């Protein structure tokens, strides 16, 4: 998709980390930015930072798990900017831990933000994106954790595999309307994800910091990631897998899956499946 200056990007989780990196790259490309986030202080600060650089950004405080609030936020963004052309469903949290150490409450919170939040973003915005046809685009933030299962990440993996599956289905559904879609699957990025508990319901007002040896701080600069997302959107690239250190692991997983098929199917059945599934 060619980015049109003046067009509008609505970005959830836009107040921090990857969302703010994407917002900055899109703003530099001439887009106007609707920043959506649950964290009011950080959201206002992020908007001020973009506006002070001469870009046009406005804050929309929203909890992506709240469907009515998402619809109201969409309406507010459209009332403010006139339209929304690109939606980035990026808000996310993490609660790592061995399967024996996590609770149903942990499942509900992480699945609610990381998977239901993306479902809500898709359901809320697809009609608006379809209105713009080839000028409409959606980016969903998954993770390499949506491509490979990892120790201590049961909830995160479950949600992120869901985001990849949802994005593939949306790709097929939106093909005819001309709306493009990408799924972002980064490795480690230097963000505030390891203090996610700051945004967990019930933790309001608590001072929650990331652990001292926060491994994410050795990761990719979110501004660099934002530029990669911009380039991938401009190239209509569905998978945005940014960290080559995971290539071998993804290959091993794909090989294990493909090698497990037994026997051969008749060519006409293969052809029928290809036509139905819309392959890459």
Minimum distance of ligand NAD from residue 60's CB (angstroms): 10
Residue 131 or 237 having the CB closest to ligand NAD: 237
Residue 87 or 132 having the CB closest to ligand NAD: 87
Set 10, 104, 137, 156: catalytic member: 156
Instruction: Write out the two tokens for 116.
Output: 């239901």
Minimum distance of ligand NAD from residue 260's CB (angstroms): 27
- Using the CB atoms, write b or e for 176-200: b if 16+ within 10 Å: eeebbbbbbbbbbbbbbbbbbbbbb
Residue 25 or 38 having the CB closest to ligand NAD: 38
* Phi and psi torsions of 89, nearest 5°: -85, 95
Alpha-carbon distance 125 to 36, whole Å?
13
Binding footprint of ligand NAD on the chain (CB under 6 A): 12-13, 15-19, 37-39, 42, 62-65, 90-93, 113-114, 141, 143, 186, 188-189, 191-193, 196, 199, 216, 219
Minimum distance of ligand NAD from residue 40's CB (angstroms): 9
Question: Would you give the end-to-end CA distance of the chain in angstroms?
Answer: 17
Minimum distance of ligand NAD from residue 262's CB (angstroms): 34
Alpha-carbon distance 181 to 92, whole Å?
19
> For residue 2, what is the DSSP state?
P
Q: Is 156 a catalytic residue?
A: yes
Residue 60 or 81 having the CB closest to ligand NAD: 60
CA 92 to chain centre: 8
> For residue 97, what is the DSSP state?
B
Alpha-carbon distance 3 to 56, whole Å?
16
Active site residues per annotation: 156
């Amino acid at each position: 998709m060619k980015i049109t200056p003046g067009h509008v990007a609505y970005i959830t989780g836009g107040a921090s980390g990857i969302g703010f990196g994407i917002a900055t790259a899109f703003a530099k490309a001439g887009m106007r930015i609707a920043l959506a986030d649950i964290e009011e202080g950080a959201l206002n600060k992020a908007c001020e930072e973009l506006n002070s650089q001469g870009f046009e950004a406005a804050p929309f405080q929203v909890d992506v798990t709240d469907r009515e609030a998402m619809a109201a936020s969409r309406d507010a963004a459209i009332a403010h900017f006139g339209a929304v052309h690109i939606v980035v469903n990026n808000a996310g949290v993490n609660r790592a831990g061995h399967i024996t150490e996590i609770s149903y409450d942990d499942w509900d919170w992480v699945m609610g933000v990381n998977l239901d939040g993306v479902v809500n973003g898709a359901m809320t915005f697809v009609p608006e994106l379809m209105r713009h046809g080839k000028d409409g685009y959606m980016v969903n933030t998954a993770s390499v954790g949506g491509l490979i299962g990892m120790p201590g990440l049961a909830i995160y993996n479950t949600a992120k595999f869901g985001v990849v599956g949802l994005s593939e289905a949306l790709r097929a559904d939106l093909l005819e309307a001309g709306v493009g879609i990408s799924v972002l699957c980064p490795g480690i990025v230097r963000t505030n994800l390891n203090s996610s508990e700051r945004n967990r319901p019930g933790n309001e007002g608590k001072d929650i910091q990331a652990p001292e040896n926060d491994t994410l701080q050795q990761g990719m600069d979110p501004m660099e990631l934002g530029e990669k997302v911009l380039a991938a959107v401009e190239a209509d690239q569905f998978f945005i897998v940014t960290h080559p250190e995971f290539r071998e692991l993804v290959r091993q997983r794909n090989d294990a899956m493909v090698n497990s098929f037994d026997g051969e199917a008749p060519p006409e059945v293969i052809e029928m499946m290809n036509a139905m599934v819309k392959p890459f």
